[in-house]
Chain A
Amino acid sequence: MKIVRGFLTFWYDFFIGDAWELAAGVVITVLIVALLARSPLVTLAWLVFPIGILACLVVSVLMVTRKKKA
C-alpha cells in the first residue's frame, strides 16, 4: 500500500506539482478544442486553443496572487 501511494504521489508531483489548475485547464482546453475541431466551427479551433492555454496561465497566476494577499 505504501509503495502504491509513493508511486502515485511521485507521478502526481511530477506531472501536476503545486499547480493542479494548470493540468486540469490544459485537459479541459484540449477536450473543448477537440470537440470544436469536429463541429461546424472547425475554423475557430486554432484560435480558441491558444486563448484557452493563456486563460489557464492567467487563472493560475491570479490564484497565486490571491493566496499572497490573503
Chain B
Amino acid sequence: MSLTFLVLSTFLASSVESVEALTIILATGITRGWYSTLLAVGAALLSLAVLVIVLGPAIATLIPLSALRVLIGVLLLIFGLQWLRKAVLRASGLKSERDEAAIYLKEVDALQQVKRNRVSQIDWTGFVVAFKGVFLEGLEVVFIVVTFGSSANNIPLAALGAGLAVLLVTIVGLLLHRPLSRVPENVLKFSVALLLIAFGTFWSGEGIGVVWPGEDWVLVGLLIGYAAFSWALVLFLRSQRAYAPAPATTMSGGQS
C-alpha cells in the first residue's frame, strides 16, 4: 500500500464514519440542546482516547464491535421509534394542544429548576444519543486507523488521513448548524426520529449479521422508506379523523 493511498483510504473511510457521527450530533444538538450534546461529544471523545491509550493497537481485536453495534442500534431504535410515534401523532392531530401546553409549562418549570442546579441542565436523552453515536463512529475510525495503519506498517500516517477527515467534517458541521436551526421544530423532530431509526436499523443489522445491499448506501434507502411510510401513516390517521365526530384540532400536521 503506497503512502498516498494509505492516507487517501483512511481519509475516505473515516469521512463516511465522521459524517454519520456529525448527522447524529447535529440532529441531537438542534432538537435536544447543544449543552448536553457537546458534553456528550466531549465525554465520548475522552472515553475513546482512554480506550486507545490503554489498549493501543490491540483495540481492534479486544472490543467486540458487533455486540456494541447491536446494543447501540437497539437503543437508537427504541428512542427513535418513541420520537417518531409522537411526531406521527402530532402531525395527524391525535396529540392534543393541551398536551403541548402542558409540555411547555413542564419545560419552563424544568428551565427554572436548571438555574438552581447546573447538573439538572443536562438532557440525558440527548446526552446518551449523542454519546452513543460519537463513541461508536469514533471507535470505527480508530479501527480503520489501526487496521489500515497496521497493514501498511504506518499507523501515524493512517491517523493523519483520519484526522483530516474528522477536521473537514467538523468544519462542515460548524457551517451547517445555523441554517439547520431555522427549520421548524416539528419537522426537525420528525427528521431526527427517522434518522435515529435508520441508523439504529443499520447498526444493529450489521451487528447481528444482516448483509445490507449497497452497504452504507442502504442508509439512504432506509431513510426514504421510513419517511414515506411514516407520512403515509400520518395521512391515513388524518383521513380516519376526518370521519370522527369530535371537532378537529389545529395541529401542525403540515409542519412534519
> Measuring CB to CB, which residues of chain A are less than 8 angstroms from any residue of chain B?
14-17, 19, 22-23, 25-27, 30, 33-34, 37-38, 42-43, 45-46, 49-50, 53-54, 56-58, 60-61, 64-65, 68
Contact = CB atoms under 8 A, between A and B. Distances in A.
8 contacts: A15-B78, A17-B82, A26-B77, A30-B74, A30-B208, A49-B205, A49-B210, A53-B226
A19 B85 contact: yes
Given A22-B78, A26-B77, A65-B240, A50 B225 contact: yes
B157 interface: no
Nearest to B244: A69
Interface in B204-235: 204-205, 208-213, 218, 222, 225-226, 229-230, 233
Contacts of B213: 46
A45 B206 CA distance: 11
Contact of B210 (A14, A17, A37, A68): A37
A12 to B, nearest CB: 12
A44 to B, nearest CB: 10
Contacts of A49: 201, 205, 210
Contact of B233 (A25, A33, A57): A57
B209 A34 contact: yes
Interface residues of B, number: 34
B208 A33 contact: yes
Contacts, number: 85
A22 B209 contact: no
B201 A53 contact: yes
A33 B226 CA distance: 18
Given A22-B82, A30-B70, A58 B233 contact: yes
Contacts of A25: 81
A49 B226 CA distance: 12
4 cross-chain pairs, A with B, having the tightest CB-CB distances, nearest first: A37-B209, A34-B208, A22-B81, A45-B210
Contacts of A56: 81
B205 A38 contact: no
B163 to A, nearest CB: 33
